[in-house]
Amino acid sequence: MKILYIILLLTISTAAFGQSGNDTLRLTLQQVVELAKANSIAAKQAATTRETKYWEYRTYKSAYQPQLALSGTLPGYTKTFSQVQQPDGTFLVQPIHNDNSQLRLDFSQSITATGGTVYGTTLLQRFDDFDRHNVLYNGIPYGINYSQPLFQFNKLKWDKKIEPLKFNESKQVYIEAQEKIAVDVESYFFDLLLAQVNLKIAETNFVNTERIIKVANLKYELGKVSKNDILQLQLEKINAQKAVGTAKRDMEIATLNLRSFIGQEGDDKIVLIAPKQISNMIVSSEKVLAEAYANRSAAIAFARRLAEAKRDVAIAKGQNGLTATLTASLGFSNTATNIPDVYKNPQNQQALEVQLAIPILDWGRSKSKTKTALANQKLTEYAVEQDKQTFKQEIVTQVSLFNLMKEQLVYTASADSIAGEKYKIARERYVLSDLSITDLGIAFRENDQAQRDYVTALRDFWGAYYQLRYLSLYDFETNKKITYN
């Protein structure tokens, strides 16, 4: 019996895996997350969206800056025949051969407070009549215009309230997209880790079963076990062979999925290192809620949606009733046969115009638009309030889940340790003929399941952790807000 005991310990205690070669890529969970954030398609899409939102914001900002534009017609050459009506009402076809060229420089500046626009312009025009050999210059040395909408919607004023919210929201959306990548890749990571653990279990079980069969055959010759025990072990060996094949297939699929998501090229073997638990991390619902309201794009979106609803009401009211536009201009113009004379003693020119529109009969359309906008504003307020409740409930639930997964991981780790010790004792008892093959198989399977349960508990814990980061945009491990350049 001592010989059998020594044989069993020597054979079963050896590791089932050989040492990995130089082409093996060993990765931790954090390394996989960083690779995904740097190389995945999702990361590239998030970066492109962020860039798009940035240039949209720059476009909005440019509307409040002075605008300077140069335009002209160089040349404006024409040679044709045209009908010209005579004083007696008849028409004569006259040849036209001229060049009418001009160059214009315009300046404009929007006024946010009023919604009006100030224009400045200078123009120089040259007219060449080739048939009569005449040259005439016309110019506006300078002119100032002002256009002011009256009783209308002020788009500049409302954009200044809403567009910064949209831009800040887009920045937080980018951070959320990065954290969502971590949530997604964590799932791929543990798919592969579990597949690797299953393969290790299956290969170890196969090797151990073969060696136990050798021990059982010696015991059978000594009359210590029955033929049924030998057949049971042979059946276990066949099942272990099948499990190895299934585990290899699952690992190949999980490796391909992970490699594809993180953008890792090449055919290096990937071996994952199981992560550890963050034991000193304390998370409370109050802290997570405070950080979520401070950091999440949804919190910014609440204010943005309410502002947009108020803007729509202002649009409806601005289109209801009297609308008018005041236009005023002041400047100088002149005409001469040469350029210098255009700028000598220019003539004063002025213009003042008010255009208006008053609906006389619209069958209540304007009123209906305003009432609709007001109703939509109330609906938005209710929807935002409901979304705030959902927002809060989701975070409270996630905090509770995280704390539960943290406790479960401790229990599962203890169960894994106990199951391993129980299996070791069961092996020793089987060698001493103090345990049946059935009880040995039960301990065998309990040990395997305990290992899988521990990996599953790790998966649940880290999944809850990354989901918590995603919901709050806060790193509870370092106690810092999550930011990306």
For every residue of 13-44, DSSP letters joined together read: SS-SS----TTEEEE-HHHHHHHHHHHSHHHH
Q: Residue 431 — very low, low, confident or very high, per pLDDT cuts 50/70/90? A: low
Is 38:484 a contact under the CB 8 Å cutoff? Answer: no
For 452, the enclosing helix (H) or strand (E) is: helix 437-472
Which tens digits make up the pLDDT trace of 220-265?
676 666 778 778 778 878 888 888 888 899 999 999 999 999 988 7
Helices (H), 222-351: 227-262, 285-295, 297-318, 339-342
Does the pLDDT value for residue 2 go beyond 70?
Answer: no
Which tens digits make up the pLDDT trace of 289-339?
999 999 999 999 999 999 999 999 999 988 887 889 999 999 999 998 889
Integer Rg of the chain from CA: 40
Q: Residue 434 — very low, low, confident or very high, per pLDDT cuts 50/70/90? A: low
Structural domains of the chain, with CATH: 2-60+158-309+373-481 (1.20.1600.10), 65-111+116-153+323-358 (no CATH)
Rounded CA-CA distance 417/450 in Å is: 8
Rounded CA-CA distance 52/270 in Å is: 36
Tell me the C-alpha to C-alpha distance, in Å, between residue 460 and each of 30, 57, 237. 16, 40, 32
State the average pLDDT over residues 121-127.
94
Rounded CA-CA distance 69/157 in Å is: 24
**What pLDDT was estimated at residue 14?**
38
Which tens digits make up the pLDDT trace of 455-481?
899 999 999 999 999 999 999 888 899
